[in-house]
Amino acid sequence: MYDVIISGAGPIGLFLSCELRAYGIRTVVLERREAIDPTLKAGAVSGRGADILTRRGVVDLLGDLPSIADLMGGRKPGAGSLQSKTAPGGGVPRGHFAGLWILRGGSSTSSAFVLAPQQRIEEALETRARSTGAEIRRGHAVEALDQDDSGVTVTVAGPDGPYELRARWLVGCDGGRSVVRKAAGFDFPGLDGIMTAYQAMADFDDPEFAPMGWHRMPRGLMVHGPHPQRILVAEFDGPPADRNAPITQAELETAVRRVSETSVTITAVHSVTRFTDNTRQASTYRRGRVLLAGDAAHVHPPFGGQGLHLGLGDAINLGWKLASTVRGWAPPGLLDTYSTERHPVAERVLHNTRAQVALLRPGPRVDALRDIFTMLAETPEANRLLTDLMGELDIRYGAAGDHPLAGRYCPDLTLKTATGETRVADLSRRAGALLLDLSDRADVREAVRPWADRISVVTGVASSSSEDAEVGELPDALLVRPDGHVAWAGADVAELGEAVREWFGESADPAR
């Protein structure tokens, strides 16, 4: 029997399988597609998702990547007719809000973008997952499930016919229309869409039919570039009549002509997807032995490029908690903190994408709203809040100690250790908890020694402290969870012991 079945080998299912394999969890990924979906989706991962891919070393598997400046070919990001602003302070912004390329603030604990197409990230994750021993079955679709006290039995449609597979846990990473979510009875409340949008890579008879950048047009939104073949158009007069109907070249061309107000002809379509702006979220991410992560747990329009980093944040939060539950050392309630920590994060994303849709609609009243919004967003404090919000940079989970770092994502400190210099990012390549002993405290090291199977101790002096003013003076020591968040920051050994038990259970050492 497997420990965990993952339904869906999209980016989130694959990343989760790598996390689970780091703990030796017997994992199988069932994917209905024979090959990676070639449809144009994310072109970049930003915010905390970029950090996660960097710290786990996935970025190193992606090969040479372009910079934003390369992609823009010297143009200003978002240079468009109606709404462009340079980022406050000039230079290349870290992202946009409703097509306003103004996000430059934010916590300094974040990497920049990982400018890779989603398919390249999926390829890298699949290679890693297989090399770490995850079994990936392509062409195998989950159709039904039945759970009891000891496990979940899944009915699978495989290439040789239907079969049953059993595991102790099932995680639905099978996207926005998740079969697992529906079959396990999760609810999925939220708002229906008001928009029909198409994103395509296509050839046009006149390649210059539309200027590059984001443009709010009288009949909708048009985004052209950065690649000359990439076009996105959105109209705000209702969701698609039939979301399952195949998309024809004529349908795409009609929408592009309407929004661009040109008579452009599409001569070839290389990739096209149709989407709406429905925003829905499962009320809980766990029902018994079934869990949800990524788009299976929450759907929202792609504005601001948040889907991937949101899902990666789910997977890195869930991975170690599920692994510790399977291993048997998870303290009571640990697995439920997955849902309580991650649900509010997605709720904020749904909320901000609703606001973005409101700001992207055409019309003079929205023009006025955008002007006022931009004026406010360009003030340093608002810009920081907005950048943090869009990148998940300000997330603070419950943690012990009143140090400003408690609960936050651990900054990428550089540590001088007895054996040389290392960084938190280097120490995070393999999933696992860290105790960073920054003041050479033998009592701190001794306090976690019985948990040596779960917590690695590194003693060193932080040679560069965080540039983030909110972090302040570094504490004597930091207990960092496997997902990079600080479980405890301080000097008090008794407090450290409580935090260790709260997150990592009782020690394997019977003497303690």
Note the residues at the interface with ligand FAD (CB under 6 A).
7-13, 30-33, 37, 41-45, 118, 141-142, 173-175, 179, 199, 273, 275, 294-296, 302, 305-309, 311
Cβ closest to ligand FAD, residue 200 vs residue 448 = 200
Closest approach of Cβ 114 to ligand FAD, in Å? 10
Cβ closest to ligand FAD, residue 89 vs residue 163 = 163
Cβ closest to ligand FAD, residue 204 vs residue 275 = 275
In 3D space, the residue among 429, 325, 344 whose CA is nearest the CA of residue 60 turns out to be 429
- Give the distance from CA 412 to its chain's centroid: 19
SS3 240: coil
Closest approach of Cβ 397 to ligand FAD, in Å? 21
What whole-number distance in Å separates Cα of residue 280 and Cα of residue 448? 41
Cβ closest to ligand FAD, residue 29 vs residue 499 = 29
SS3 168: strand
- SS3 of 381-440: the string is HHHHHHHHHHHCCCCCCCCECCCCCCCCECCCCEEEECCEEEEHHHHCCCCCEEEEECCC
Closest approach of Cβ 156 to ligand FAD, in Å? 8
SS3 493: helix
In 3D space, the residue among 300, 306, 304, 420 whose CA is nearest the CA of residue 351 turns out to be 300
Closest approach of Cβ 412 to ligand FAD, in Å? 21
Cβ closest to ligand FAD, residue 11 vs residue 482 = 11
Closest approach of Cβ 107 to ligand FAD, in Å? 18
Exposure string over 412-451, b if 16+ CB within 10 A, otherwise e: bbbbeeeeeeeebbebbeebbbbbbbbeebeebeebbebb
Cβ closest to ligand FAD, residue 136 vs residue 326 = 136
Closest approach of Cβ 124 to ligand FAD, in Å? 14
Closest approach of Cβ 310 to ligand FAD, in Å? 7
Quickly tell me which residue has 């709406």 as its tokens. 276
Cβ closest to ligand FAD, residue 50 vs residue 413 = 50
Q: Find the residue with minimal CB distance to ligand FAD.
A: 10
What whole-number distance in Å separates Cα of residue 304 and Cα of residue 93? 12
Torsion sign across C-alpha atoms 485, 490, 495, 501: positive
